Amino acid sequence: MSSASVPMLVRLPAWRARFALFALLAAFAVLAGRSAYLQSLKTGFLQEKGEARYARVLEVPATRGRIVDRNGEALAISTPVKSVWAIPEDFDASAAQLKSLAALLGQDARELQRRISGTERDFVYLKRQIPPQAAQRVAELGIGGVYQHSEFRRYYPGGETTAHVIGFTGVDDAGQEGIELAHQALLAGAAGSRRVIKDRLGGIVEDVESIRAARDGRDLTLALDSKIQNLAFGALKAAVETHKAKAGAIVALDVRSGEVLALANLPSYNPNNRARLTGAQLRNRVMTDTFEPGSTLKPFTVALAIELGRITPQTMIQTAPGTLTIAKYTIHDAHPESALSAAQVIQKSSNVGAAKIALGLPREEMHDLFRRVGFGAPPRLGFPGEAAGRLRAAKSWRPVEQATMAYGHGISVSLIQLARAYTVFARDGELVPLSLVRTGMPAAGKRVLSADVARSVRAMLEAAVQPGGTAPRARVVGWRVAGKTGTAHKQENGTYAANRYVSSFVGFAPVSDPRLLIAVMLDEPAAGQHYGGQAAAPVFSQVMQGALRMLGAPHDAPLAPLEMPGGGEEARENT
Amino acid sequence: MAKLNLLLLLVLVVCALGLVTSQHKSRQLFSELERGQQRGRALEVEYGQLQLESSTWGLHSRVEKIAAGSLGMRAPDPRRVHVVEAAQ
């Protein structure tokens, strides 16, 4: 080797420098390529990931609209409640904690433990819809694996009184019955969502954007007057109990506006606690049940006969001997009379008289009138399950059927249809469209009868509630009343049951300027009094009296106590 | 030239500090807004509950029971009612 002290210039191979340079350049190229790739091609993905670290999408809850009566009184309100749920795998509670949790939820501790540990699922509801205060206490227990979320619960202050009109919502806050179902689109709110930036502590520091604005449900004002509703429900309930009826229904209409002021059914239910509901309780008999109306249809037959010029109210009709046989069928009167004027046929509710008048009329005309007053077609109130009733085509009517239809057999209607049809007499011949929602203005009616005919039938209906008529018990103190009773045999397996009746009364007041129309129906009154004049008319009178006072209708009769007829003085109808 | 640069630097610093302050203020205001909205929602909930309570206490059947029961009220006898015509 040469001397070590002399530095020697060693020539390294040139390729090593070039290699190092190339390696460095290549490393830079890789970095540049990678950054270009991330910046241009994967930028969306990366931004999303970054945002996920601080941005959150929050649900903005929306409330369901309230339902209020015409005076703004709440009939249905949503209020937030909490639902408590658990993830069984994470559930970790000491015996004491479990005990207090069970106490707060109103459940048995062992049952609760079994529900949590005895399941394969990874999600268990412990209790849905508990008050926020109770939920707060549950949260304070600090049990692992127990969570809660907010929900809305609907409350119905009116309870069973308004149950059939309002209906109810399910646990998911969607309408299931009644107005809640019919106006679901209006009442339901749409939950919205928004994107926010949260800080380390979970506080919102910035609103980034509103993804979807929350839309609260709109409030709905019903035509219902809760005072009249309460009065009607109370009177109906008392009558159903006194007469041991299977069911009952009542509806009150404002004659001028066509608004439904009260609508009640029995049996009813409490919509706030629907644990044990039966189909009978749920049925809205006013809207969805049809029945053979009986004598309440007689005024229509007589009105048509007068309209066609066949009779006048004074025309005498031969009704002796109180029976009329057509083909093999015999029509009876409860109290045979030798002859009655057309007005008395209504007042005394003579089947033979009504049948004879009907037989003198073209069946097409009769069918046409029934059709025009709304029978055989749903009343289109926008209520779920409205019944159309049964009205057969005119060409299939045999004479005997035409005769029985005159007094309301062989045709079926719902109580609301019957009530609406009577607006023809209350409004000088106009049929009024009905509304469950407050309109607050007079409704334009559709002319069905001439005003003169409607007025003369109204006079007959007023005579029917006077002593000597079928329903003196329908009168009220201080106002003139007009109306008609109905007592129909119930149909069973195709024949009429001998001792099962539907008794009804439809009437309106004050006669000088009708304001209110009320229809009452009792299904199978079983306490001995089954005539419409005995069972249904007193309910009408009670509700009408109270409601007219509440409405402040001017009196058109002296304020003197009424003399009620003794036994036997009251005319009775047979149907 | 250097003077201008220095001035611009100063302006820049002031602007940056201003930005920080305004951002901070905006966040403060925002959280205040958020709190206000939360309070509004809570009040709305309370309003609903109070309405519910009021209609429960004011149930006509309850009012009627109290009026007839503990207060001994009843509808007047028609013989004792006088209707007064309003003078037009």
Amino acid, single-letter form, for residue A332:
H
Residues B4-37 have pLDDT tens digits of 999 999 999 999 999 999 989 988 898 898 889 8
To which CATH superfamily is domain A59-221 assigned?
A: Penicillin-binding protein 2a (Domain 2) (3.90.1310.10)
DSSP H/E element including A192: strand A192-198
Task: Tell me the residues of chain A between 484 and 523 that have a Cβ less than 8 Å away from chain B.
Answer: none
Q: Which of B30, B47, B64 to mutate to test the interface with A (most CBs of A within 10 A)?
A: B30
Residue A283 burial (CB count, 10 A)? 18
Q: How far is B69 from chain A (nearest CA, A)?
A: 16
Q: How far is B84 from chain A (nearest CA, A)?
A: 11
- Lookup: tokens for A565: 């007829």
Report percent pLDDT > 70 for chain A.
96
| B59 contacts A73? CB cut-off 8 A | no
Of A159, A205, A555, the CB nearest to B31: A205
For A414, the 3-state DSSP assignment is strand
DSSP string, B28-79: HHHHHHHHHHHHHHHHHHHHHHHHHHHHHHT-HHHHHHHHHTTS---PPPGG
Residues B44-85 have pLDDT tens digits of 888 888 888 888 888 888 888 899 899 998 877 777 777 777
Cβ-based contacts of A560 with chain B (< 8 Å): 78-79
Mean pLDDT, residues A267-290: 83
A567 touches chain B (CB under 8 A): no
B42 touches chain A (CB under 8 A): no
Strands A220-221 and A67-68, by their bridges, are parallel
When pLDDT is cut at 50, 70 and 90, the band that residue A565 belongs to is low
Structure confidence at residue A566 (pLDDT): 56
Structure confidence at residue A334 (pLDDT): 76
When pLDDT is cut at 50, 70 and 90, the band that residue A318 belongs to is confident
Residue found by looking up tokens 């709305």 in the block: B44
| A157 contacts B56? CB cut-off 8 A | yes
| A477 contacts B60? CB cut-off 8 A | no
Contact between A544 and A255 (Cβ < 8 Å): no
A234 touches chain B (CB under 8 A): yes
Strands A74-86 and A146-155, by their bridges, are antiparallel
DSSP H/E element including A340: strand A339-341
* CA-wise closest residue to A180 among A77, A288, A290: A77
Amino acid, single-letter form, for residue A232:
A
Residues A483-542 have pLDDT tens digits of 999 888 887 767 777 778 889 999 998 999 999 999 999 988 887 777 877 888 899 999
| A560 contacts B27? CB cut-off 8 A | no
The verdict on ipTM greater than 0.90 is: no
Mean pLDDT, residues A177-186: 88
| A207 contacts B60? CB cut-off 8 A | no
Q: How far is A244 from chain B (nearest CA, A)?
A: 22
HSE-CB for A543 with a 13 A CA cutoff: 38
3-state secondary structure A209-270: EEEECCECCCCEEECCCHHHHHHHHHHHHHHHHHCCCCEEEEEEEECCCCEEEEEEEECCCC
| A478 contacts B52? CB cut-off 8 A | no
Query: Does the pLDDT at position A171 exceed 80?
Result: no
- Please tell me the distance from the alpha carbon of residue A332 to that of residue B74, in angstroms, as a whole number: 45
CATH code for the structural domain at A226-272+291-551? 3.40.710.10
| B51 contacts A80? CB cut-off 8 A | no
Q: Which of A270-279, A309-318, A336-345 has the lowest mean pLDDT?
A: A270-279
Q: Which of B51, B63, B64 to mutate to test the interface with A (most CBs of A within 10 A)?
A: B51
Contact between A119 and A138 (Cβ < 8 Å): no
| B60 contacts A230? CB cut-off 8 A | yes
Domain edges within chain A: 59-221, 226-272+291-551
Instruction: Give Cα separations from A373 to A306, A324, A425 (angstroms).
Output: 16, 28, 11
Query: Does the pLDDT at position A560 exceed 80?
Result: no
Mean pLDDT, residues A443-471: 88
Q: Which of A194-198, A454-458, A459-463, A501-505 has the lowest mean pLDDT?
A: A194-198
Contact between B60 and A233 (Cβ < 8 Å): no
B88 compared with A78, residue with greater pLDDT: A78
* CA-wise closest residue to A372 among A353, A385, A391, A386: A391
Cβ-based contacts of A159 with chain B (< 8 Å): 59
Cβ-based contacts of A204 with chain B (< 8 Å): 30-31, 34
Of B30, B52, B78, the CB nearest to A77: B52
Per DSSP, A197 falls in state: E
Contact between B31 and A205 (Cβ < 8 Å): yes
A101 compared with A456, residue with greater pLDDT: A456
DSSP string, A457-523: HHHHHHHHTSTTSS-GGG-BTTB--EEEEEEEEEEETTEEEEEEEEEEEEEEE-TTS--EEEEEEEE
Q: How far is A503 from chain B (nearest CA, A)?
A: 27
- Which residues have a Cβ under 8 Å from the Cβ of A273 and sit 6 or more positions away? none
- Which residues have a Cβ under 8 Å from the Cβ of A428 and sit 6 or more positions away? A451, A454, A455
Q: Which of A127-136, A247-256, A418-427, A560-569 has the lowest mean pLDDT?
A: A560-569
| B31 contacts A203? CB cut-off 8 A | yes
| A234 contacts B79? CB cut-off 8 A | no
Residues for chain A: how many in total?
A: 575
Amino acid, single-letter form, for residue B36:
G
A71 touches chain B (CB under 8 A): no
Cβ-based contacts of A166 with chain B (< 8 Å): none
A161 touches chain B (CB under 8 A): yes
Give φ, ψ of A149 to 5 degrees: -140, 160
- Please tell me the distance from the alpha carbon of residue A58 to that of residue A40, in angstroms, as a whole number: 30
A60 touches chain B (CB under 8 A): no
Give φ, ψ of A290 to 5 degrees: -115, 155
pTM given for the model: 0.80
Residue A483 burial (CB count, 10 A)? 34
Residues A403-429 have pLDDT tens digits of 888 888 888 999 999 999 999 999 988
Mean pLDDT, residues A209-238: 88
Supply the residues of A annotated as catalytic.
Answer: 295
HSE-CB for A538 with a 13 A CA cutoff: 15
DSSP H/E element including A152: strand A146-155
3-state secondary structure A351-406: HHHHHHHHHCCCHHHHHHHHHHCCCCCCCCCCCCCCCCCECCCHHHCCHHHHHHHH
Cβ-based contacts of B64 with chain A (< 8 Å): 230, 234
Residue found by looking up tokens 């049964």 in the block: A390
Report percent pLDDT > 90 for chain A.
20
Give the torsion through C-alpha atoms of A332, A334, A336, A337, to 10 deg: -120
